[in-house]
């Protein structure tokens, strides 16, 4: 009996010592202070005088230019590479002659387009309407620096695969990236405060729309685009492989053409809060045959559905809790 108690106490003592060591106690060593911020080319971390590291993460933030690398917003070191601005693009001078608009690909032959900060000594502030429409040369696009507006249809039906809308860009006009059938990922910065209709409509492969956490109007949830408060589903990511999508709780409005042209979805479950379904929301969703509504037929009758909300879709009726309508 005594031996059992002794063994139990010994085990307990060993366990306590292990636990204390794990949280950094004084047994056998010292209390780490992690006071010094250190970094290398990729990471920064807090370091104790004994060499132990804590909180290591990759450098982040800062915008590189053609002569200077990005400066990490946490530790202040330069990281990554300088950017190589696209050369040979076509430009057009603004009517007040204060800035330039990029108006076409010109003689540029690269696949990576970094829109220059300046041209002819003036800032490049806009991508003109249709500038890269149907362009089949570009793969990766970075729009930042002085660009404020991406005009309508700027990249419509182009071959781009990745897109970074950087800080400074305020507006993305209608149809700017519509039918970019190779586009997989799009990053939207905090400064974007206006997004035109159909901006990302029918981008079949788009599976990851990322939005900066600091953006005041928009947010991303599992790669799809929502209003910041989560009440409007603006654009579903058509590239996702799932066949059944459940609209998150709190969504009241399904935006214009939000699911249009989805070929993968077979079933969509609406949220309880849904109160309006905008024009073309499910247009051309040919394989979408089941639309499930988690309330009654009488409730469904109060939901506002715009003209053509299910134009040429597979939806013939809506499945409510008490039957189909
Ligand atoms: Zn230490
Ligand atoms: Zn850093």
Give dist(CA 38, CA 16) in Å, integer.
32
Closest ligand, as measured to the CA of 25: 1
Name the H helices within 55-151: none
Question: Please, which pLDDT band fits residue 299 given cuts at 50, 70 and 90?
Answer: very high
Closest ligand, as measured to the CA of 79: 2
pLDDT of residue 324: 96
pTM: 0.80
Short-list 261, 274, 275, CA closest to 310: 261
Domain boundaries, given as residue ranges, for the chain: 78-206, 224-325
Q: Output b/e per residue, 231-255; b: 16+ Cβ within 10 A.
A: ebbbbbbbbbeeeebebeeebbbbb
Closest ligand, as measured to the CA of 75: 2
Q: Tell me how far CA of residue 253 lies from CA of 6, 15, 78, 80, 221, in angstroms.
A: 67, 55, 43, 41, 15
Instruction: Report pLDDT digits (tens) over 153-202.
Output: 999 999 999 999 999 999 999 999 999 999 999 999 999 999 999 999 99
CA of 56 to the centre of ligand 1 (A): 15
Q: Is the pLDDT of residue 130 over 90?
A: yes
Average of per-residue pLDDT across 265-272 = 98
Residues, CB within 5 angstroms of ligand 1 (ion): 32, 48, 50, 52
Give dist(CA 134, CA 130) in Å, integer.
9
Q: Is the pLDDT of residue 20 over 90?
A: no
pLDDT of residue 60: 86
Superfamily name and number for 78-206: Ribonuclease Inhibitor (3.80.10.10)
pLDDT of residue 61: 80
Instruction: Report pLDDT digits (tens) over 26-42.
Output: 545 799 999 999 999 99
């Amino acid at each position: 009996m005594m031996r059992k108690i002794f063994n139990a106490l010994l085990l307990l003592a060993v366990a306590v010592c292990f636990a204390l060591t794990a949280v950094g106690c004084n047994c056998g060593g010292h209390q780490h202070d992690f006071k010094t911020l250190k970094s290398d080319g990729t990471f920064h971390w807090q370091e104790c005088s004994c060499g132990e590291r804590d909180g290591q993460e990759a450098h982040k933030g800062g915008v590189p230019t053609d002569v200077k690398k990005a400066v990490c917003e946490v530790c202040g070191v330069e990281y990554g590479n300088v950017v190589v601005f696209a050369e040979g693009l076509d430009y057009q001078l603004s009517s007040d002659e204060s800035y330039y608009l990029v108006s076409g690909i010109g003689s540029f032959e690269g696949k990576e387009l970094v829109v220059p900060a300046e041209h002819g000594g003036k800032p490049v502030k806009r991508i003109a309407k249709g500038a890269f429409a149907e362009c089949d040369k570009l793969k990766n696009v970075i729009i930042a620096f002085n660009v404020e507006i991406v005009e309508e249809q700027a990249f419509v039906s182009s071959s781009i695969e990745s897109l970074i809308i950087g800080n400074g860009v305020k507006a993305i006009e209608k149809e700017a990236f519509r039918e970019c059938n190779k586009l997989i990922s799009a990053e939207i910065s905090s400064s974007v405060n206006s997004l035109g209709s159909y901006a990302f409509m029918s981008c079949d492969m788009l599976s990851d729309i990322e939005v900066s956490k600091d953006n005041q109007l928009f947010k991303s949830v599992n790669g799809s685009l929502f209003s910041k408060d989560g009440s409007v589903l603006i654009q579903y990511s058509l590239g996702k492989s799932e066949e059944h999508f459940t609209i998150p709780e709190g969504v009241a409005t399904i935006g214009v053409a939000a699911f249009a042209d989805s070929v993968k979805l077979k079933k969509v479950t609406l949220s309880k809060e849904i109160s309006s379904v905008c024009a073309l929301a499910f247009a051309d969703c040919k394989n979408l045959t089941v639309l499930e509504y988690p309330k009654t037929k009488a409730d469904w009758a109060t939901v506002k559905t715009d003209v053509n909300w299910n134009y040429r879709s597979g939806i013939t009726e809506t499945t409510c809790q008490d039957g189909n309508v």
